[in-house]
Amino acid sequence: MNFCPETRARFRNDVNYMNEAMVMEWNRRVEPEDLVYLLGDVAFLPAQKAAEYMMRCNGTKILIEGNHDVKTLKDSTFRNCFKEIHKYHEIDYDGHKIVMFHYPISEWNQMHRGA
């Protein structure tokens, strides 16, 4: 809430309320059978608490590791919330190459060919 006060204002400075609302909103949009790619910085919580929230979120989750995930990923319970973990990941989806990375980059594989 400290990092994004404008977008988090609706949570009334109550972190527990915010976390619960995020799980509810996630599950309203994501079905249990959906595949979800998370582009890093999953949680600013201790690993066990972060794992509790992630386990309550629908879908099969693939993490593209962010700089703030390094510490929580040392915990096996948190790591096990994800089917896969990558630092950089490419997929082909519906005829398009999708390149996923946590950090902003100005060029990526196949960018000049529509990726």
Instruction: Dump pLDDT digits (tens) for 62-115.
Output: 999 999 999 999 999 999 999 999 999 999 999 999 999 999 888 888 888 888
- Provide the 10 A C-beta neighbour count for residue 92: 9
pLDDT tens digits for 32-70? 999 999 999 999 999 999 999 999 999 999 999 999 999
- Provide the 10 A C-beta neighbour count for residue 10: 9
Prediction pTM value: 0.86
* Helix, strand, or coil (residue 52): helix
- Please report where in the chains the tokens 């995020």 appear, as a residue: 22
